[in-house]
Structure 1
Amino acid sequence: MSGVVGNEDLRRAAGHALLVTAVAACYFAAGRLGLMRQLVVDGAVVTPVWPPTGVAVACLLLFGMRASPGIALGALLVVMSITSIQPTVIGTLVGNTAAPVCAYYLLCRVGFRTDLARLRDGFALVFLGALTAMLVSATAGAGLLVLTGKLASDSFWLVWATWYAGDAMGVLIVAPVLLVLWRARRLPHTPRWKEAVGLALVAGGLIPFATRSDVSLLFLVYPLVIWAALRFQLAGGMLCAALASVMATLAATDQVGPFARMSRIEVMIKLQAFNGAIALTALLLSAVITEQLHTRRSVEQACRELVEVLEHLTAGESLQGRSPVDVGDQGSREERDQSHSG
């Protein structure tokens, strides 16, 4: 018996180690991807969208607090890849780990569901997971830069706002996409595959053109995102929004298209406004449509069950309404018919 218990503990420990390693690897890959596009704001290097925050929140929602060591390890690996370990770095690691954990606990307190099938789940992810929890990482990161003298105190709020917006955009854009991909193996295949292919082709051509055109055509992306959300709910809406955010970030860091001839601060403001608006449109509209579809299916199921109950009640009343004499007459008639046929 002790051998069985020992093997079970060994398998559990190996599974936990594998989970931590996988989360750390995903966090590190997302961090290196985010560092490929940077903006310098008052001497501080920031990223317009920080994907690791979305990875961390999604992993915590899917696997629970078991994923938190992987988040801390991944954050440490990202920092070690760009600088040496210093006291300010330790504080940043604590903030980058504590913010997703805070988001996880806030979302759990309100009964968040990872399928994002309710409007309340969309609002919870926006206002609790992104806008509230990411205050922790932004305050810890920018505050430590000021305390250590690496950032002037009068530049605190600008760097803080930029840091905060990047972390919040990571949650709004990356976390829903990862939750959709995790559920993709259990989702039924859509019968509208031709429409899906057409949408993908249009998005692949229109979004790069709108984000790099010298004429400001970013507004053309919104009808596309609305189409994707209405027809394919969260999967279509968030994937389309993620593509738009990536292409807009590339154009902003290259300062081309709608972001040409702007200062770094103007680029950051315009980019974050676009990313936030497109993510909110896709997320909340998808949640509304999905909730309405679920409500419609529930009503249809209730109507079918009510029809079945009424049919049983009608059949029972018809039998009860017949007198014993009628039943006996019918039985004698059936006997006579059988004797004549014999």
Structure 2
Amino acid sequence: MARVVARQDLRAPAVFVLETLAVAACYYAGGRLGLLRELHIDGAVVSPIWLPTGVAVACLLIFGLRCWVGIALGALLVLLHLTSLRPSSLGVLVGSTAAPVCGCLLLRGVGFRTDLTRVRDCLHLVFLGAFAAMLISSAIGAGLLVATGDLPARDVWRVGLAWWVGDAMGVLLVAPLLLLLYRVRAPVRWSRWREAVGLAVIAGCLVPLATYSRASLLFVIYPLLIWAALRFQLGGSMVCALFASVMATVAATDHVGPFEHLTEVEVLVNLHAFNGALALTALLLSAVITEQRNTRRSVERACQELVEVLEHLTAGEAAARPSRDEGGRPRNTD
């Protein structure tokens, strides 16, 4: 028994270290991907979709608050990649760590369920995990830029807004997919794989055309999103939304298609409006469909149980009813 306890005591720190390194690596990888596309707002560089915030919130919800160490380490690695460490970097590091932790605490406080099968869970993720919590990192980051003299005070609201929306988009587009992937168990049975392939092919052709066309065809993506939500629920709708958002971000940062003749601020507003509408539609529509299907299954199950109870009652009454002869008189069974 002593050996077993000793092995468990040694295993716990090893698991924590590996988990911390894995979270830091995922955070850093998301940061490198997010930095591939940038927008310049009043001299500040912002990412339209900051993927690490989604990674951080998902890891905290799955593994617990102990993941904050990995998040802080990943944020430190991203800062080292961007610039040399300065006193202001500590504030950015604190904000990048505190925002997802506060989002996780807010979601836990309202009884958030990671399966996202209820509309209330999707609304909580949007307004608490994304919009409310990410105000912390954006406010600290923009405030430090003003305090260090790197940003004029009159431009703080635009940079802060761009920072906030980029962080929120990372939560809305990445966190649901990671939560879904964590719940997937092998073997995966796809009864609609032909339809899934067809949807992927159509999306692969239509989404680049819509995002790179000058004719403002971004609205044609929504029927694909509705199709994915109706047939494949959260997984299909979020994959479709993420792909469309990435393609729109590439077009916006390249200033092509519907973003060709727009200023940086106009590009940012149009891009975030499109990405936000996609994420909200995918989350809420898939949750409504899943909730309705679960309700229908519960009603069908209750009806089936009621039928079985009625059958048992009918059988019991028939067995207890005395048999009668041809004249209708009860027979003596003695």
Secondary structure in 2 matching 1:127:
helix
Please, which of 322, 328, 336 is the counterpart of residue 333 of structure 2?
Answer: 328
Paired residues in the alignment total: 329
Corresponding residue for 1:80? 80
- Rounded to whole Å, the distance in 2 between the matches of 1:322 and 1:247 is 77
Over the matched positions of the two proteins, sequence identity in percent amounts to: 63
Measure how far apart 1:186 and its partner are.
5.7
Give CA deviations for 1:161-207 in whole Å, capped at 9, x if unaligned. 00001000001111111112222326852322211111111011100
Q: What is the correspondence of 1:113-124 to structure 2 with a 5 Å cutoff?
A: 113-124=113-124
Corresponding residue for 1:211? 211
Give CA deviations for 1:286-337 in whole Å, capped at 9, x if unaligned. 00000001111111111111111111111111111126974838xxxxxxxx
Secondary structure in 2 matching 1:160:
helix
Of 21-30 and 80-89, more deviation after overlay is shown by 80-89
Q: 1:46 to 1:2 in 2, by over 3 A?
A: same
Secondary structure in 2 matching 1:328:
coil
Structure 1 gap ranges (5+): 330-342
Q: After TM superposition, which residue ranges in structure 1, 4 or more long, deviate above 4 angstroms?
A: 323-327
Structure 2 gap ranges (5+): 325-329
Amino acid at match of 1:213: S
Measure how far apart 1:4 and its partner are.
2.3
Corresponding residue for 2:151? 151
Corresponding residue for 1:333? none
Corresponding residue for 1:49? 49
Corresponding residue for 1:296? 296
Corresponding residue for 1:71? 71
Determine if the alignment matches structure 1 residue 258 to structure 2 residue 263: no
Q: Considering only CA atoms, is the larger Rg found in Structure 1 or Structure 2? A: 1
- Rounded to whole Å, the distance in 2 between the matches of 1:256 and 1:207 is 14
- Rounded to whole Å, the distance in 2 between the matches of 1:327 and 1:142 is 95
Corresponding residue for 1:306? 306
Secondary structure in 1 matching 2:82:
coil
Amino acid at match of 1:310: L
Q: What is the correspondence of 1:121-140 to structure 2 with a 5 Å cutoff?
A: 121-140=121-140
- Rounded to whole Å, the distance in 2 between the matches of 1:162 and 1:36 is 16
Q: CA RMSD in A?
A: 1.5
Measure how far apart 1:277 and its partner are.
0.3
Corresponding residue for 1:334? none
Measure how far apart 1:123 and its partner are.
0.5
- Rounded to whole Å, the distance in 1 between the matches of 2:260 and 2:172 is 26
- Rounded to whole Å, the distance in 2 between the matches of 1:130 and 1:142 is 18
Of 131-140 and 185-194, more deviation after overlay is shown by 185-194
- Rounded to whole Å, the distance in 2 between the matches of 1:284 and 1:168 is 16
Q: What is the correspondence of 1:166-185 to structure 2 with a 5 Å cutoff?
A: 166-185=166-185
Measure how far apart 1:78 and its partner are.
0.6
Amino acid at match of 2:37: R
Corresponding residue for 1:200? 200
